[in-house]
Structure 1
């Protein structure tokens, strides 16, 4: 669930409620492809329940995702099509956040836009650091010493908001009728 903490930790309670109210709760049957590599995506998804898998053509599975993971977020940063496919391993529930709706919200509320893009930047920064470590650039010990972080430890700026983010995610799940 750690990834949703990056997003919800940077947003306000009102922002998180807006996402839940304006997103679409979507049931994803087992085996369905939610995002297809190379094909544009017009939404970002928060996995609320179930497990999904990230696959890259020519490589295969690169990640297994659970509740609280986020996919499709890179479409908010650039126009490039997805570099991976995401498919459900079992029946899943996601919150589908339409890119156009979020862009309208950003145009109406610049504060929301600042918080939203900061959250995306923190999220992608964490993903890049984890990928670099997995690929073996430098040594994990050197990287951890440079960053002041132990393996799989959250950044201090995120730690300050973890409790609030967790509460926001739990309220979102309740609002969307997941896990009740």
Structure 2
């Protein structure tokens, strides 16, 4: 098997891999058991503008649109994306709304249930918060590059050819976890 065989196919899958690569199989199993798989009709608003979200969503199928206060499309989030994670750590009101598009489904995990698990299980909390920090750090790097700060090929940043076998193994394991989560949610 070569390096490209281990890399996840769609680029958007990388988002969920940041989270799942830091967790254990039993953590992902707990999330699958603790959450609800929901299908959303087109236009369903899962996070209203200026609200206090109380769920984290792992997008399984379809896509969701993130919209500004004026209704302008900011970004579309597809399979493997995570929604509502910022409000888990910072309960500020939402600065955008999120609406379902065609075929949208997600694993919904309530902040209350997740916070209770984090408070009761210190090893899980350490893994989850590390995963969230890695994910948010990557999102911030992507955002700043998108607005012209930094370059895509910055010195010192790993290139696809420079990714270590350990990083590939971690990404591969995370991709397998996401596939198991999708299969678990389908049944």
Matches within 5 A, 1:1-180: 1-58=13-70, 60-141=72-153, 144-149=154-159, 159-177=168-186
Structure 1 residue 76, shift from structure 2 partner: 1.5
Q: Which runs of 5+ in 2 are unaligned?
A: 1-12
Dislocated runs of 4+, deviation >6 Å: 153-157
> Distance in 2 between the 1:149 and 1:136 partners?
19
1:45–1:72 CA contact under 8 A, matched in 2: yes
Once the two structures are superposed, what CA deviation does each residue of 1:105-131 show, in whole Å capped at 9, x if it has no partner?
Answer: 112210000111111111110110001
Normalised by the length of structure 2, the TM-score is 0.85
Q: 1:31 to 1:157 in 2, by over 3 A?
A: farther
> Distance in 1 between the 2:82 and 2:144 partners?
19
Normalised by the length of structure 1, the TM-score is 0.88
Structure 1 residue 147, shift from structure 2 partner: 2.6
- The 3-state SS of whatever aligns with 2:144 is helix
Q: Which runs of 5+ in 1 are unaligned?
A: none
Equivalent pairs, count: 174
Paired residue for 2:10?
Answer: none
1:24–1:97 CA contact under 8 A, matched in 2: yes
